[in-house]
Structures are given as C-alpha cells and as structure tokens.
Structure 1
C-alpha cells in the first residue's frame, strides 16, 4: 500500500516540470532575417542604460554593442521593441542571452541583412522560462 502513495507524490510534486509563464504580447508581428529569426539583422550601440523590467527583456549598458535578431512591428499605442543579445568583453557573462529592449534605446550602426521576412509573433515569443 505504500508504493502507490510514493508514486502519486512523485507524479504530483517531485517529478513535475516547470512551465513557461505566459506574459503580455508586445506585438502581433515581427521582422526577422529568416523563418527562425536566427540571423543577426544588425549591430546597434546603446545610447543609455536599460534595466529589464521582467524576464522577457535584457539589461543593457550605455555604449554596449547589441546584436539585433528581430524587430517587433508595433501595435497602435504600443512601444517599439527589438530583440537582441548584448556583446561586450566586459559583460561576457551576458552574451548569448536574447531579450527585448526599446528600439529608441539604441542606434543601429551596421546592417547585416536588408532582406527580411515578416512573421506572426506567438505567445512563445513573450514567455518566461
């Protein structure tokens, strides 16, 4: 009789996997360099510091380089956000983390791709793990 209880506890608590927390959608569409948004669109330089308000965003320091992977197409009354990853020898521990930031925060300094695809933004684009 003890074995079924142990299995129930394991299934109900210890063996559960965390799910991504759904967050508010920032846009319905985005532009990317390819269907998977894996190509870098451009390089930008931060004009000021930005502190991420939640896990969908990244922290950026003034003058830090940012690789831009996608650009959200704004909804009426919403801000313009891009997604990217920071680059800096000083902040090497943050490289590779992709998140959103206000497009007005950066100045695009180098474009890698002019040919882009427009894709629908899904709830996965705005989930926190």
Structure 2
C-alpha cells in the first residue's frame, strides 16, 4: 500500500506545474488602447527595477529595459499594463508580450493617446 501511495505522490511531483495552455483569471474587464485592436503602442516606458512574474500572464522585466505599452488595464486603478519587451541585443531573443505592474516602469516617450476603451477577452489572459 505504501509503495502505491509513494508512486502516486512521485508521479504528481514530476508532472509539469506550468500554467501554459490554460485560461487564467481575468485581471480586468476593460482596457484602454490607442485603437480598437490594441495594435499600436501607446507609449514607451523604461523599467525602474527588475520584475519577476508570479504566473504566465506576466512578463519578466529587467531594470533599464524598454517596454512598448499597448494597453492599460482598467477597473483596478490602472495597476497593470500590457506590452512587449525585447532583449538588449536585437534578434538575441524573441519579443515577449504580457502584463506587468505599472509601478515598475516610468513613461519615457508618449506615442498615441489611450482613448479607446476595449473589453478584454479570455485571450488577453490565456497562458501559452
């Protein structure tokens, strides 16, 4: 009996614990964007500090890194933004897209006003 229990526990510990490929809870019902598709960046921001995400909806950010911001989530006091970062050397790493706390960045270059309110969908918070 103990062997079966030990085997079951071992298998559970070895299974991947990633959030990839599943729907995560919504962070907000709405977001502000430059256009209805959220395809144009609103601003460029610079990371004030390193940020290590808690789950797959968020992106890791290193201090000094530039972030292109495409959306600002509403309903939570503008706590989270969505954007993309690319490694310091062009082509070294794919651009990563996801959410991050607005408190870890400073706005450096406004690009377009975020005047279009868009409803978020399940794909805004899907982990792939």
TM-score by length of 2: 0.76
The Cα offsets for residues 39-89 of structure 1, whole Å up to 9 and x where unpaired, read as 01000000000012111111100011110010001337xx71001111342
Unaligned runs of at least 5 residues, structure 1: 1-18
C-alpha distance in 2, partners of 1:94/1:126? 22
Question: Is the Cα contact below 8 Å between 1:68 and 1:82 reproduced in 2?
Answer: yes
Aligned residues: 109
Between structure 1 and structure 2, the one with the greater Rg is 1
TM-score by length of 1: 0.75
1:66 aligns with 2:67: yes
Query: Greater shift after overlay, 85-94 or 24-33?
Result: 85-94
Runs of 4+ deviating beyond 6 Å: none
Unaligned runs of at least 5 residues, structure 2: 1-19
Residues 94 and 52 of structure 1, relative CA distance in 2, 3 Å threshold: farther
